[in-house]
Amino acid sequence: MEYNTTRSHLILREYGRNFHKLVDHIKGIKEKEKRNELSKTLVDMMRVTQPTFKEQSEIEAKLWDDLFIMSDYSIDVDSPFPKPEKKSKNNVSKRLDYPKNKIRFRHYGKKVELLIEEACKLKKEEDKEAAVIHIGKIMKSFFSMWNKESIDNKVIVENIKELSNNKLSIDIEKVTDLNLFYKATKERGSKSYYTKKYHKPNRPFRKKRMK
């Protein structure tokens, strides 16, 4: 019995193991004319088993390229198209690194930190205060996505101070009295939004007058 752990590596998995074995068989044939003849037949078989290739341009060239790739570029046959060049390890695309910058408050996300960074660049104090109010509303909204309980306005103000390195601040009493971090707009789909938009008040039933 042949186990997967003892089998050779499949270079192009979409063709399956049998096609890789046929390629290896053609490679071992000594007569080049015979190799050329069998290679053409194999390319025709590859086209039949890959119906999605019909929608692609330059199908024939791709199939011949796949033939050489499955042979690890070692098959000696005459191709009607230029032979593909073997890719070196340097040409292999590198994996993207994960961002190394840590997010201080994960429930706010990285975008809030970027907003605070931009707000710190503002010169006018009134513009900074307006930015803090806008960011505070966003932070309160983001926090509610992670937690069922509401967050205190004082905590948001302290978080803004920390994230801005004490460059941004606002009077907590002003925030509380004017409810500045309250999100006035209702979210679509919420109960209050549905009630306001679709609920009609009950009207008393009136009998039609008889003429």
Residues 138 and 183: their CA atoms lie apart, in Å, by: 8
According to the model, what pLDDT value does residue 78 have?
A: 92
pLDDT above 90: percentage of residues in the chain:
43
Q: What is the pLDDT of residues 25-54, one digit of tens each?
A: 999 999 999 999 999 999 999 888 877 766
What residue type is assigned to position 97 of the chain? D
* Residues contacting 86, CB < 8 A, separation 6+: 73
What residue type is assigned to position 6 of the chain? T
Q: What is the pLDDT of residues 88-128, one digit of tens each?
A: 655 556 666 665 667 788 888 888 999 999 999 999 999 99
